């Protein structure tokens, strides 16, 4: 079940994501099955991910981030800034990040 993040929760996640390095890179091909699979695998070990989107990718950063989140169960876009998106998906059992107000 996908719960909507509050502004306070998004701010908390943004602060946690600040020091992260991008683990998934989206090339000029945009969102493909391979990139969605790579993102899904990365979510097995992390709840919060940064994604870097190459300059030549088709679509805006927000559109690409939304497409990535839609391709992975329960993933949500926390923030897009420049060519970087932050995505969040809590672990199904025993989430590591305790969101404020959750």
Q: What pLDDT is recorded for position 51?
A: 95
Cα 26 off chain centre by: 12
Domains, in order of start, for the chain: 7-88 (3.30.110.60)
Q: H or E stretch including 81?
A: strand 76-81
Contact criterion met (CB below 8 Å) for 26 and 53: yes
pLDDT tens digits, 36-84: 999 999 999 999 999 999 988 888 999 999 999 999 888 999 999 999 9
Mean pLDDT score of the chain: 90
- pLDDT bucket at 30, cuts 50 / 70 / 90: confident
pLDDT at 102: 65
| 19: its two tokens | 């020091």
Asked if pLDDT for residue 1 goes beyond 70, the answer is no
Task: List all residues 6 or more positions away from 37 whose beta carbon is below 8 Å from its beta carbon.
Answer: none
The phi and psi torsions of 37 (rounded to 5 degrees) equal -65, -45
């Amino acid at each position: 079940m996908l719960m909507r993040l509050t502004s306070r929760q998004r701010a908390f996640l943004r602060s946690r994501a600040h020091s992260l390095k991008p683990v998934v890179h989206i090339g000029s091909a945009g969102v493909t099955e391979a990139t969605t699979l790579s993102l899904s695998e990365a979510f097995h070990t992390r709840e919060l991910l940064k994604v870097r989107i190459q300059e030549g990718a088709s679509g805006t950063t927000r559109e690409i981030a939304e497409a990535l989140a839609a391709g992975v169960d329960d993933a949500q876009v926390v923030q897009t800034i420049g060519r970087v998106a932050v995505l969040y998906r809590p672990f199904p059992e025993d989430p590591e990040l305790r969101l404020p107000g959750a």
